[in-house]
Structure 1
Amino acid sequence: MRIGGLIGSAVVAVLVGFSSPAQAADAPSVGAKEAYVIDSAGTVHLGKRETRRVPVASLVKVMTAYVVLHEANLSDTVTITATDVKYAARGGAATAGLRKGERFTVRDLLYALMLPSGADAANALAWHYGPGKAAFIAKMNRTAHSLGLADTHYTNPDGMPTPANGGYSTALDQAKLAQQALESGTFTSVVGSKAHKVTKTGVHRAHTWRNTNKLLSQADDVLGVKTGYTNAAGYCLLFAGQRNGRTVVGVLLDDQNTRRFTTAERLLGYAGEQIAFG
């Protein structure tokens, strides 16, 4: 009886060991007021008030870049005006340090738009490819409609607060937009760059633009995408990375500055585990 009992216990132990596969970790806590994480297979890994309409600050510039990429040739040149420079300075927005009279290719202005989040670059591109800001904003909203972003409305190309009829979007819509934008190799190359330098020429000064997205330095296989901040929107982050053969896209809205990057890194890891465990 004693021997049989020992053998039975051993068999049970072995069976238990083989029938208890490792479990994927629980989802990390998310302090952002709105959040959403989805992968390229359509699996949703996290949702938190993802359909709530809120301001999204400079995440708006993702749509600006998306529209420009469909309107422009990368070799087109755009001249910076006094209006572009004054607009950004007057509103206290982030700038790329552009000056009146400088001329840049669209390719370089996309870096100026997305890395330092230049409102001056946004203004210049909108005026050129509207033509005029009102026409460009109309293109942004038509594009949002065509992409099925039913809870998104744009009032400018840079995400700065407007006194009335303020723009808004949702975490869900921003993730959808990022998935579309990342299909462009040019867009992916821009938002995945830690820095971009343009050398001095006869039409512009030398510039070095550094990416405000710290996640690029904190985690591996990160694709971008965009940071944002205003008092109304709080700290925002739209991020993407490759995990176990899929592209994971996430959005954090109205978060804390440093926490958004650490949370995004954890969410990418969590999504990767969920994909691995099927």
Structure 2
Amino acid sequence: MLQKYDGRRVFTRGIAVKRSIWSFVLAGLLLVPPIDVASAQSSDPRTSKPVATRDMSFRVRAKAALILNMQSGEVLYRKNPMARLSVASITKLMTAVTLMNMNPDLSKRIQISRQDVYRANWTQLKYRERVGVNDLLYAALISSDNVAARVLARVSGLSNKEFVERMNQTAASLGLLNSRFTEPTGLDAGNVSTAVDCAALLWTALQNDVLSEVLTTKEFTYSTNRRVHNIKTTNRLLRGDQPDADLWESVGSKTGYIRKAGYCLVMRARSQSGDDVIAVVLGGISSRTRFADMRRLLNWSLHNIGQQEHIGG
């Protein structure tokens, strides 16, 4: 029988993650009216009063989007934040969080099986390669390797069905009640979540020291018994010379794409002044527009956090 989690919290490598932190976000979403992107004002979810801000002179093209101020809990922007959508490889965040809750031996080396590589769609790993568990985390979360995600589920010692059940137990324990997972890679369109839940999932993953290190890595090299692998992040906003480096830096992100999900991205960014946001884009119509939406949302929100002056209290 699978272990039943305490409904109030789960432990990620010894760090208690309380789901109540997201209650103020949900309450705020009920108070904040949909934001008119042509307007020069947004809303304070604590008072439902307008907040002075610079014009948001662009349109978010994704199906759903969200920006949260992590210091205040303010919802800075929302578009269909509670819509249940397929989230593709963002699923791998839940795979990693679920496994890390089980305290795996990160130094253990696992051999890739035929079942692992069957219809994997995207992978650099080959049948009979032996890979360290720590390296599998990097492969799954940086380059979004599907074989790596499958092997991580197998590392748990559970059957695939049992591991998926554990993923859903973990989601429920975290209060991600609008999320449902069907397998560990994100290839199945039945892996669904919301922008709010995706933000909470990334926040949870970043509470773990190991996952936080992985999710902020742009490039990584590891060796198997057969060859050396060099992998790079799938987040193009982090590649090369970042044009927004003077405004913000990423402190964790995950991309996702399958045809039925569209292009997805969840990202935490911090400005040089210490302002901290999590932004989510789900259901983007192309890879280019996904990154364009995210870049504009981050630039807009981090520019305005320090400039906002509450009107009438």
TM-score in terms of structure 2 length: 0.75
Please give the residue correspondences for 1:1-278 in structure 2 after superposition, counting only pairs within 5 Å.
Answer: 24-27=53-56, 28-41=58-71, 42-71=73-102, 72-88=104-120, 93-95=121-123, 97-161=124-188, 166-199=190-223, 203-217=225-239, 218=242, 219-220=244-245, 221-243=249-271, 244-255=273-284, 256-278=286-308
How far, CA to CA, are the matches of 1:26 and 1:70 in structure 2?
A: 43
Match of 1:17 in 2: none
Deviation at 1:211, TM superposition (A): 0.9
Preserved contact between residue 80 and residue 100 of structure 1 (Cα < 8 Å): yes
Preserved contact between residue 67 and residue 143 of structure 1 (Cα < 8 Å): yes
Q: Secondary structure at the match of 1:277?
A: coil
Match of 1:14 in 2: none
Higher strand share: 2
Name the aligned partner's letter for residue 226 of structure 1.
Answer: K
Deviation at 1:83, TM superposition (A): 0.8
Deviation at 1:181, TM superposition (A): 1.0
Overall identity of the aligned pairs, in %: 36
How far, CA to CA, are the matches of 2:187 and 2:257 in structure 1?
A: 9
Deviation at 1:128, TM superposition (A): 2.2
Computed over aligned residues only, the root mean square deviation of the Cα atoms, in angstroms, reads 1.6
How far, CA to CA, are the matches of 2:235 and 2:76 in structure 1?
A: 22
Deviation at 1:135, TM superposition (A): 1.1
Preserved contact between residue 66 and residue 279 of structure 2 (Cα < 8 Å): yes
How far, CA to CA, are the matches of 2:205 and 2:159 in structure 1?
A: 23
Query: Structure 2: which 5+ runs fail to align?
Result: 1-51, 309-313
Deviation at 1:50, TM superposition (A): 0.7
Preserved contact between residue 91 and residue 191 of structure 2 (Cα < 8 Å): no
Match of 1:12 in 2: none
**Structure 1 stretch displaced more, 57-66 or 182-191:** 182-191
Q: Secondary structure at the match of 2:193?
A: coil
Deviation at 1:130, TM superposition (A): 4.5
Q: Secondary structure at the match of 2:127?
A: coil
Q: Secondary structure at the match of 1:30?
A: coil
Preserved contact between residue 57 and residue 230 of structure 1 (Cα < 8 Å): yes
Preserved contact between residue 131 and residue 223 of structure 2 (Cα < 8 Å): no
1:106-149 deviation per Cα after TM superposition (whole angstroms, max 9, x unaligned): 11001110122111011111122151211111111000001000
How far, CA to CA, are the matches of 1:35 and 1:159 in structure 2?
A: 19
Deviation at 1:267, TM superposition (A): 1.2
How far, CA to CA, are the matches of 1:51 and 1:127 in structure 2?
A: 31
How far, CA to CA, are the matches of 1:260 and 1:159 in structure 2?
A: 18
Name the aligned partner's letter for residue 232 of structure 2.
Answer: R
Identify if the C-alpha distance between structure 1 residues 147 and 77 changes in structure 2 by more than 3 Å, giving closer, same or farther: same
